[in-house]
Amino acid sequence: MTTKEIAKKLAGYCAKGQWEHAQKELYAEHATSTEQHASPDFEKETKGLKAIIEKGHKFNKMVEEMHSVAVSEPVVADNSFAIVMTMDSTMKGRGRMKMSELCVYQVKDGKVVAEQFFM
C-alpha cells in the first residue's frame, strides 16, 4: 500500500472513531506513538502495536461521550503524512472539551511505523 493510500484509509477510520481498526490494519508491530509531552495519563512515548492499542483503550475509558470527530484531508509526502483531528468530547470528571491536534505519521514498507501528536 502506498503512503497516499494509507493516509486516506487512516483519515477515514479516524473520522469514524475506528482507531483500533486502523491500527490493526495499517500499523507495523514495532510502531511508536509519541505525545507532545508526558502527562499523568500517558507517557511521552509508547512502543509497539499492542501498547498503542492499550493506550487507545485507556483513552476510550476516559471518554464519557464523544460528540464529534473531524479529520482534515491528509497532506502526503513520500513516506509521511499529516492530518488535523478535532474531537469534541465530554471527558469523565473533566467536562466537555474540544481538542485539536496535528497528527504526523511515518510510513515504511507499507505500514505506519510512527505517529506523533502536536496540540
Q: What is the pLDDT of residues 19-37, one digit of tens each?
A: 999 999 999 999 999 999 9
Residue pair 51/34 in contact by the 8 Å Cβ criterion: no
Give mean pLDDT, residues 64-82. 96
Residue type, 57: H
The whole-number average pLDDT for the span 90-108 is 95
Confidence band (pLDDT; 50, 70, 90) for 70?
very high
pLDDT on residue 107: 98
Instruction: Identify the CATH assignment for 3-118 out of 3.40.50.2020, 3.10.450.50, 3.90.550.10, 3.30.450.20.
Output: 3.10.450.50
Mean pLDDT for the chain?
A: 95
pLDDT mean over 48-59: 96
Q: What is the pLDDT of residue 41?
A: 86
Query: In three state form, how does the secondary structure of the chain look?
Result: CCHHHHHHHHHHHHHCCCHHHHHHHHEEEEEEEECCCCCCCCCCEEECHHHHHHHHHHHHHHEEEEEEEEECCCEECCCEEEEEEEEEEEECCCEEEEEEEEEEEEEECCEEEEEEEEC
* Sign of the dihedral through C-alpha 53, 57, 59, 100: positive
Q: Residues 6-25: what's their mean pLDDT?
A: 96
Parse the chain into domains and list their residue ranges: 3-118
CA atoms of 46 and 17, how far apart (whole Å): 20
